[in-house]
Structure 1
Amino acid sequence: MGPESILATGLMAAAFSAIHLLAGTLSVLHRVPRNRWLSFAGGIAVAYIFLHVLPELSAHQTTFAELLGLDPVAAESLVYGIALLGLAVFYGVERMAKTSRERSRMRGEGDRLENGPLWIHVASFSVINLLIGYLLLHREETGAWSLGLYFVAMALHFLTSDFGMRQDHPQAYDRTGRWIIAAAVFGGWLLGVFVELHEVAIGLVFAFVAGGVVLNVLKEELPEERKSRFLPFFGGTALYAVLVIAERTIA
């Protein structure tokens, strides 16, 4: 990788970190019903899943078949199984957080996470941020357009996930959690600068991240209490779809 690529992706990693550190200052995002910009961001993240994540999983399926000597059906089961594992792991973390908040309310301690589930929640997001930072430099699709679309989708995904994390445990998140999560995404980029995993390992990492992103996007947009806005959500999906089609047409 050239110095220009390292510089560009380093700036993107720094921007990802800044989103976590500064998103809490954007008071306009913390309205209920849900702010239209958060629904717009969620729409882009959903479009990213269908137009980039799923096709890229298919590309990794081919890599698994070639490098591991698997037949196409086994390779397909492996890559989508890892994505399903990522979704299941993050679903389990979210259920644990919800149960913890319910226990706190029953004890009259307010709508807060207990210490153990709180730090498991932060650790889980740190892991996915580390992997997203790493994939800035090591993705199946290459090129400036692809990198730019990845950056936009992940930046907006971070914005919506940060909003959800801050609602779950505002004081602990602002005091400590956001710093850990911000450091994780930049640390993932640093890891990518110095360490290049085998193609199979990168495929496994991407599939696991894909499952986590799918779960996090859906949990932020679908629950009734979020009161998502349809038109901004649809606008985000349509805009991102147009950009992806333009990228592939020009290429």
Structure 2
Amino acid sequence: MSLDAFLMGFAFILIHLFANELIPSNRMNRLKWFSFSGGLAVSYVFVYVLPTLHKEQLLVKKYSNHLAMESELYFIGLVGVLIFYGIQKVVRKAQLKQQPHKARALFWLQILFFGFYNMLVAYTVISHNVLGIQAVFYGLAVGMHFIAVAHDLWREYEDIYDKVGRYVLALGIVAGWILGITVTFSPLTEAIIFAFISGAMILNVLKYELPPDDEAHFGTFTIGVVSYTTITMSLKFFFQW
């Protein structure tokens, strides 16, 4: 494990343990914070996740005799969207029907799946050997994403999240570290993992990190999008990410 990946993973763990301490308590500042964070996350999806997914698809098509189309990994990403959306939908349905015991039980399922999601994200960081300035910008976007997800889970069931949930999510990061250090998957398997978490991340970014119209601060959102995109595209041009 590189020092860059270690520091990034350690930051992710701290984010899950103390996410709600990082968010401003003042409502207006909080809305601006989430708008800026959402801008970074949306930019990250379009300038990093989707291009990388396309690159992985081309590599898989080149080196695998089993995949003949040009959209297999996009299908895996769609499966990631479907699974995570389905879990969240079931939890929300139980809440709307005022079935508190069932909703709390299903919330545990949601926590476990996000722990699994964190494990795959951490594994991807290790396996793709993200280093240097690229690690900084990758970590910034994913870290902001983790804070938004953690805050939303905390708002649903504060007691469960504070007592157990945040530790499950943090352990997911640790599990991904261990997996990345001890196990070497084939390029095809790694591509499938990346595609799955890409689909889940796209869903979570659009669901958790884009504030509703009445809570969004468009100026701050735009600053987040433009600044992250400009810097990332410049670094891609100069350093051939």
Question: Given the two structures, how large is their TM-score scaled by the length of structure 2?
Answer: 0.90
Q: 1:130 aligns with which of 119, 122, 127?
A: 119
Moved over 6 A (4+): none
Distance in 2 (CA, whole Å) between partners of 1:64 and 1:218 is 27
Q: Residues 87 and 146 of structure 1: is their aligned pair in 2 closer, same or farther, counting only changes over 3 Å?
A: same
Q: 1:59 aligns with which of 33, 42, 55?
A: 55
Distance in 2 (CA, whole Å) between partners of 1:102 and 1:175 is 24
Contact 2:76 2:195 (C-alpha < 8 Å) held by counterparts: yes
Q: 2:17 aligns with which of 21, 30, 34?
A: 21
Query: Corresponding residue for 1:191?
Result: 179
Query: Corresponding residue for 1:82?
Result: 76
Contact 1:97 1:117 (C-alpha < 8 Å) held by counterparts: yes
Contact 2:4 2:135 (C-alpha < 8 Å) held by counterparts: no
How far off its partner does 1:250 sit?
1.8
How far off its partner does 1:150 sit?
1.3
Query: Corresponding residue for 2:2?
Result: 6
1:218-237 paired onto structure 2 within 5 Å: 218-222=206-210, 224=212, 227-237=215-225
SS in 1 for 2:185: coil
AA matched with 1:186: V
Distance in 2 (CA, whole Å) between partners of 1:195 and 1:71 is 24
Query: Corresponding residue for 2:133?
Result: 145
Contact 2:60 2:67 (C-alpha < 8 Å) held by counterparts: no
Q: Residues 229 and 216 of structure 1: is their aligned pair in 2 closer, same or farther, counting only changes over 3 Å?
A: same
Identity %: 29
Deviates more, 1:222-231 or 1:114-123: 222-231
Task: Say if 2:40 is the partner of 1:44.
Answer: yes
Distance in 1 (CA, whole Å) between partners of 2:214 and 2:15 is 21
Query: Corresponding residue for 1:159?
Result: 147
Task: Say if 2:203 is the partner of 1:207.
Answer: no
Distance in 2 (CA, whole Å) between partners of 1:167 and 1:29 is 14
AA matched with 1:24: N
Query: Corresponding residue for 1:119?
Result: 108
Task: Say if 2:89 is the partner of 1:101.
Answer: no
Question: Given the two structures, how large is their TM-score scaled by the length of structure 1?
Answer: 0.87
Q: Residues 113 and 44 of structure 1: is their aligned pair in 2 closer, same or farther, counting only changes over 3 Å?
A: farther
Give the superposed CA RMSD: 2.2
AA matched with 2:107: L
Q: 1:178 aligns with which of 166, 170, 176?
A: 166
AA matched with 2:202: V
AA matched with 2:184: E
SS in 2 for 1:35: helix
Q: Which runs of 5+ in 1 are unaligned?
A: none
AA matched with 1:55: P
Distance in 2 (CA, whole Å) between partners of 1:98 and 1:156 is 24
Task: Say if 2:228 is the partner of 1:240.
Answer: yes
Q: Residues 169 and 90 of structure 1: is their aligned pair in 2 closer, same or farther, counting only changes over 3 Å?
A: same
Distance in 2 (CA, whole Å) between partners of 1:43 and 1:52 is 14
Give aligned pairs, total: 239
SS in 1 for 2:24: helix
Q: Residues 12 and 125 of structure 1: is their aligned pair in 2 closer, same or farther, counting only changes over 3 Å?
A: same
Q: Residues 68 and 62 of structure 1: is their aligned pair in 2 closer, same or farther, counting only changes over 3 Å?
A: same
Distance in 1 (CA, whole Å) between partners of 2:188 and 2:79 is 17
Distance in 2 (CA, whole Å) between partners of 1:39 and 1:172 is 27
